Amino acid sequence: VVKVIDSRPVLVTGGSGFGGSYIARTLADGGARVITYDIAAPRTESAHLLAGADVQLEKGSIDDWPRVFEVVSRYRPRAIVHAGGIMDVAFLDDHPLVALRTNVAGALYLLEAARLLGGVERFVLLSTIAVIGKVLYEPVDGNHPTITATEGPAGAYSAAKASAEAFCFTYVQHHGLDCRIIRPSALYGFGMSWFAPNYMKNIVEPALEGRPVRLKTGGEVPRDYFNVVDLASLVETLVEGPPDPVRVFHGGTGESLRTASDVAALVRKLVPGADVEVGNDWTESDRDEVRIRGQYDVADARRLGWRPQFTDLETGISDYITRYRDFRAVGGVPTPPPADVRDAPGLGG
């Protein structure tokens, strides 16, 4: 049997970032032609990950309609994976209109370009588990509400995601676009950005650099840590897999939750000599965040053929460590944290 590969490309927004670069690499390794659309060149970690892959960057902003239209009309992608946007959640809470103009309008410009130009067979939106606002039952499945009489998406970043999700349905209902939404839980892995206060980067990377890690908080905060490699394979399943009526998928392991204490214990086990201590205090954002943490149902993705590699946190962290060491071994220089990053516990130590 000869697999016929559609030569039209897949457009990946945010392809210079963490999730986007793994998605681009995975699709390209699977035989797809990949164009990334991003306002920035890849960070050092993403550049390392993309080295040698057949991936071409088109620079541009998702909130620049003429540029979005130009790129979609030039490449006529068969699929669009939308992983770009502003991730600085504290900044977006202070400036909700930025969330509207860039994150909501950016998604709509891509949907609209897909509608006007045609030929886009799949549209995959990277959303977030934080659209649910508060876990009302577990496992959290695709039918879990996002807005109730008393709860709503967590902050402007999530409000923008919920809005983009809602607009996806307009394009499904009225324009025949096959949209799928992924809501990832705490994403981790080599190349993760500093805007992810999920007690992983701040433990793994200093430990690998031989620095002591002393965090006062996080020891008890539970999460379904989701490895970026598995996010990329989930996207590939949704782009290349069969048609299906289900629109909402959770990006998680579906297993029980783990804490920063668990991460610390695994890092001590996996990195000889690692000096890591994580306390059990809670930050304000930990308390906010725990509302959305629960066990997520990933049965629909599995039904479509998705097989995650890292349902076990230890092997997932091992993969992170191996990739980080490989990057350092070839002279890779880690991206420093932005000067104004907030809410990322453990920065600097």
Ligand X SMILES: NC(=O)c1ccc[n+]([C@@H]2O[C@H](COP(=O)([O-])OP(=O)(O)OC[C@H]3O[C@@H](n4cnc5c(N)ncnc54)[C@H](O)[C@@H]3O)[C@@H](O)[C@H]2O)c1
Could you tell me what percentage of the chain is helix, strand and coil, using 3-state DSSP and rounding each to the nearest 5? 40, 15, 45
Helix axes 105-117, 155-175, angle to 10 degrees: 20
Which CB sits closer to ligand X, 186 or 278?
186
CA 105/CA 121 separation, integer angstroms: 21
Query: Token digits for 218?
Result: 């996080």
- Ramachandran category for residue 176: left, alpha or beta (phi over 0 → left; psi -120 to 50 → alpha): left
**Closest separation in Å from C-beta 188 to ligand X:** 7
**Closest separation in Å from C-beta 336 to ligand X:** 14
CA 296/CA 139 separation, integer angstroms: 5
> Strands, DSSP E only, in 44-99?
55-59, 79-82
Which CB sits closer to ligand X, 179 or 196?
196
Residue type at 182 in one-letter notation: I
CA 112/CA 206 separation, integer angstroms: 43
For residue 139, whether the previous peptide bond is cis, meaning omega lies within 30 degrees of 0, is: yes
Which CB sits closer to ligand X, 127 or 261?
127
Which CB sits closer to ligand X, 268 or 311?
311
**Closest separation in Å from C-beta 157 to ligand X:** 7
**Closest separation in Å from C-beta 300 to ligand X:** 18
**Closest separation in Å from C-beta 219 to ligand X:** 20
**Closest separation in Å from C-beta 57 to ligand X:** 10
Which CB sits closer to ligand X, 274 or 292?
292
Q: What's the half-sphere exposure (Cβ side, CA atoms, 13 Å) at 210? A: 0
Q: Is 27 exposed, middle or buried (0-12, 13-18, 19+ CB in 10 A)?
A: buried
| Nearest alpha-carbon partner for 251 in 196, 286, 302 | 302
**Closest separation in Å from C-beta 20 to ligand X:** 5
**Closest separation in Å from C-beta 160 to ligand X:** 9
> Which residues are near ligand X by CB under 6 A?
13-14, 16-20, 38-40, 61-63, 83-87, 102, 126, 128, 184, 186-187, 193, 196
**Closest separation in Å from C-beta 283 to ligand X:** 17
Which CB sits closer to ligand X, 63 or 274?
63
Which CB sits closer to ligand X, 45 or 274?
45
Which CB sits closer to ligand X, 86 or 207?
86
Which strand (E) or helix (H) includes residue 37?
strand 34-38
Which CB sits closer to ligand X, 119 or 338?
338
Q: Are 192 and 22 in contact (CB under 8 A)?
A: no
Q: List CB contacts of 148: < 8 A, sequence separation 6 or more.
A: 133, 134, 136
Q: Are 39 and 79 in contact (CB under 8 A)?
A: no
In the bound state, the residue with its beta carbon closest to ligand X is 17
**Closest separation in Å from C-beta 311 to ligand X:** 17
Q: Are 221 and 281 in contact (CB under 8 A)?
A: no
Which CB sits closer to ligand X, 98 or 172?
98
